[in-house]
Structure 1
């Protein structure tokens, strides 16, 4: 960890300082991607990679932080693209339908719906529901759609994630509203969903490795991950 990272102000300054590096990496990768791939989504993922680099950097190894951060940021973005398998417009439409179903059932049941309840909602079999989850995989939690309208009105939707001065609204969002919203959303998940998130994002296991730990197939872990992301996105939209 970088010296001084326990100081929140110093941490925020470092995030702001290296935010242009995230944008640069995303811009380069985006050149090889279809137009429908959202740069906003990839910048979010890159910021998470940057924060991970700040937390895990070992100064004793005599490697420049910028070099280490570039590897972590690029790795995070490429992992996201592999996970979403280049989300198509069709996949986004299916994800939107699933997200709406989760929100509708949650309002009605006052809890997260089971897999069977969601499949019944669509009038399909459980296997068809899992197939639908597979087709909607790779949906990101955060996009400009999840931001408070006041931020978008003040800064412009696309500028919100790119501001790098002292009044950076993304930095404020990441450390306050979004942090609290995500905490409450994650607290409402099942033990299985929390475990998948923890193993994937904190312990950095692959989906195949998580499958071995939980004694489930890689495909099933992918479905649980997709379902969890959609639930979180639905909750964030409801609370924005």
Structure 2
């Protein structure tokens, strides 16, 4: 391949770098879009240098894999928490949640520390780290982000699912909706939200987690070919409460969403 052909491939596929960088930075908000774009552009150039058209693979698909690999390297380089720190966070929050369920209230730092056999400062540090909204590179969701990033010709379908997600968010119970929006849209600390609502940190975390589970159930219901084929729900509310939630989504979304969210019902 000549240098002219190589340069043409780079120029023609630069929009792909920008598109993928924008999609990932919107979901992994601790990563700068500019940093991702720079890493992706370099990966695009090296992909063009290494590309062999005789392999029968379209350059766009080949470059996409190289670009996403560069994004993963960039995320790994910028990740602040080691595996040991993440393990400590996971263990501490698990003990806290178990004690919360057993005691019927939020446990004190000393109670958590006593249960874990560590000092109170270790628990305090772990819970503070848990509030930092950075994606774990060893978390399966990171691989899902990379594999689910759409090519430009799939943007319409992605936009449709975002619309469904917006209706699903608006249909959440009022306090749960407020918490999910505050955490993920306004990017406010959980501690600040808890103080504003006059509830415990644990209560906010539980509402946030259940809100995310309901949103996942909504997307699963929408993606199923018919309402009865959707996967087993992940939310912990009653079946009646879940169906009432789906009914609110259908009402807000009008005719287009009615068939997806009203079990056994025809479109309005």
TM-score, structure 2 as length reference: 0.34
- TM-score computed with the length of structure 1 as normaliser: 0.37
The structure having more radius of gyration, on CA atoms, is 2
